[in-house]
Structure 1
Amino acid sequence: MANDLVIRLDIEDALVLKDTSIDTKKFFAKGLHWKLRAKTENSDRTGNEEKLSVYLFCNWESENPDWICDWTTEFVLINSDNTKHVTNTLEYQCKFDDSHRGFFGILKWSSVIDEKEGFLVNGGLKVEARIRANKVAGMRISNRMDFSTPIDNISNIVLLVEGRRLHVSKQILSMCSPVFYSLFFGGFNETSKEEVEIKEVDYDQFLDFLNVLHPTTFTEILKRTVPYILALADRFQVDTVLEKAESYLIASKEFETAEKLAFADKFRLNILLARFFHALSEHVFLCGCSSQARGTLTTKQFKSFSSDTKAAICERLMELANKKASAES
């Protein structure tokens, strides 16, 4: 059976593994993110000997508690002699609270760094994970585009971001964003260009933003991505993406109340703000106190809120305090 993904970790200076772990970049396959990590380990599970250990991470950033992935992976420590690779195959089911698994103690560290053994070449090591995702369940499979190549009859403009090309459709982006509409059809100099540079954006962040924006793709918003997804949606005035990010924040348990309020204030997320006031009302009348609100008011984030948001919070607290006093009298 063919592999769904092969990840190779090239370690230029193997000796750094004595002090730290090294990860590959993220890869995307079967609707999931994957990465490989190498480190040295000396523990009970390695027989109290220092050994090279390799770990495979699967979908580790997802906040969906219901997903599972059954996978089979062949871990390979590459040798300069193709007949002497060290391999081990592991079958495992990853899930929300157990997103990584590895080949503990793949080889003694002393053997790994002994150039006579053939693993260390010019001071470097190579490790591979040959992955088959046998079953994925409990989640909507992400459907991402990398926009690196044009699509016939669809792509008609190139966006240059940090010197890299993204092939997109003027019409699709313009339907989602008045900023893109003005850029492509508003009579600016860019209107007649085949390539338009988008400045002051990170390429990977902008690619994530396009995948949330695009109607034919599905990309999960995460704790790590929501700050820049909101910032880009605000910059390009994409209301649908702002709404998706707001819905994520409403449902998420990954942020404190003050952090959510900061997002609501900065990006004018009125539904999220209204949810706060509703929760505040319930907390005051069910618990007989407003400690949660006072905690929010004393956070450093409150100082950066707009005057309107500060006033709305204070006004609401006074209103609730008056109602509570009336009810007790």
Structure 2
Amino acid sequence: MNHYEEGLNINKDSQKIDELIRDGNIFKQDKPNEGKITFCVENIKNLNGRIVSPILTVSNISWKLGVDSYPDNEYMNRQKFLCVYIVCNEDQESFLWSCTATIEIRLKSIYKNNDIVKNFQTDFDCDNTCLGFTNFIEWNTLVDECSQYLDDGKITIEATINVESTKGIKGKVEIDFDKYIKLPNDTVINIDGKKIHVNKEYLSLLSPVLRSMFYSGFAESNMNEILLKDIDVNDFIELLDVIKNPQKEVTKETVEILLKLGDRFDISYVIDKCEKFLMSTEDISFKRIFELIETYNLISVIYQAPSKLQF
């Protein structure tokens, strides 16, 4: 039997999590690319179907820890094991993402230094989201009355996740608009002699490019005014209007302006708004949408609106 089995079919309608676990499950994240799930499963002897932990997000990817018995109860004449597995990015609809991760799965013992620990490193992608061990521990050993892994009828399993690299994964920027739009203007941006008063803390939150100009060792950071070249002042005002007003809609007249400036200043919030518009609009031709996808690498549009991309 392989140490881990690919493509385990997770039953989303399996027994409810809150019937089998306590609220004490622990989710720990010390670094952006590392995290730990501690999953307590109650009444393991009566496990009936697959169950999974709540979601932990590491490197902008969702992770869950699942347990099951293998084989299931209909194969009573075969040796039974505890099956433990990791579910990676299960709800991601894109087929263009991937990540390389090292996983450590640990079944906790009631005795010190007696845990069962198994590891693997693998590449997850849209065709390979569920990996684990079908034979983590022999079932009778696990549930025996003298088992060192039972604590008042429950078991505790830990999964430590270390994400080494990702492709096609885009983080979401959460912004408290109420907090920032009320801040006073403290910086001047000069475009073709026209001065625009802005709050640099707010713009720095949204744009790594502007943050570098405001706070780094760039010459601009020591100037009373920030000079921006090769930008139409009205286009920049449109950009500011979108990022200062969450109710501001993207339109067919503004989407290309916003994509261009959002890409130039690396403002993911603006790019996301443009992607959502392109996924829903009927006012822009397929040809033009495809050109924008190629120019700005709009992965979300490719997989969220495939009907638009049919020749």
The two structures have a TM-score, normalised by structure 1, of 0.47
Higher relative contact order (CA 8 A, sep 6+): 2
Q: TM-score of the superposition, structure 2-length normalised?
A: 0.49
